[in-house]
Amino acid sequence: MRRGPILAVCLVFFLLAASFLMGQEVMDRIVARVENDIVLQSDLLELKAYQELVDGKSESESAILDRLIDQWIVRSEAELSRFPGPQDAEIERAISGVVKSFGSTEEYEARKKQAGLNDSEVRKIVAAQLYLSNYLDSRFRPSVQIDEKAIVDFYQNAVVPRAKARGQEPPALDASRDIIREALIQSDINEQADRWLKESRARLHVQKFLPEGAK
């Protein structure tokens, strides 16, 4: 049996595969370790691209990495408690909200292409953010208490001055009450979540591998 040509082909295939895998390792290197898990550069670049899509700019890579670590904390606890993921309809509504934040669908598509994202990547990020925000809401909303004084103070100190600065007639307090209450609830949830994340980070073993001067 002539083994020479077969072995040669196998060797070439092996070298090509090894070269490809080495390239993948360089392209998708580890940027952080959180406990026994890792955060990949592709995760960082994907969130960076999404920020550029929705905000027109992105945070520094260091700040984005901190966000990914915070997301790891929330996701780990949510999965441990078997928190359910968002329904398809909820994801679609959220994506629709992103699209409507642009002047037109064409503008959204152009910005999405410029950011280097496709529809499946946008859907994945939106679904992940919904999952995390829904969990934080379920975890902290029950402890939030908003009284009438807080609503009136917000109306007088924020809603009225903002309307007058725009040369508009302020909306009636009664018409604004539910919106103000929800805004105050969300603010309180964010404050509680920030404190919890800060305490959680202090207990974690985290190693970051971003190169010096990373933007």
Q: Would you place residue 25 in the very low, low, confident or very high pLDDT band (cuts 50, 70, 90)?
A: very low
Question: What is the number of structural domains in the chain?
Answer: 1
Structural domain includes residue 186: no
**In this model, does residue 8 exceed pLDDT 80?**
no
pLDDT of residue 212: 64
14-18, 27-31, 107-111, 129-133: least confident range: 14-18
Structural domain includes residue 38: yes
Q: Would you place residue 19 in the very low, low, confident or very high pLDDT band (cuts 50, 70, 90)?
A: very low
Domain that holds residue 27: 10-142+200-208
**In this model, does residue 3 exceed pLDDT 90?**
no
Structural domain includes residue 185: no
Q: What region does 133 belong to: left with phi over 0, alpha with psi -120 to 50, or beta?
A: alpha
pLDDT of residue 175: 94
pLDDT of residue 12: 42
Return d(Cα 5, Cα 56) in angstroms, integer: 55
Structural domain includes residue 128: yes
pLDDT of residue 20: 43
Give percent above pLDDT 90 in the chain.
84
pTM (global) more than 0.85: no
Structural domain includes residue 175: no
**In this model, does residue 171 exceed pLDDT 60?**
yes
Return d(Cα 148, Cα 153) in angstroms, integer: 9
8-17, 36-45, 70-79, 164-173: least confident range: 8-17
Residue 109: give its domain's CATH number: 1.10.4030.10
**Mean pLDDT across the chain:** 89
Tally DSSP H helices, then E strands, for the chain.
9, 3
Structural domain includes residue 214: no
Return d(Cα 50, Cα 37) in angstroms, integer: 23
**In this model, does residue 190 exceed pLDDT 80?**
yes
Structural domain includes residue 182: no
Give the bridge partners for 18, in sequence order. none
Structural domain includes residue 153: no
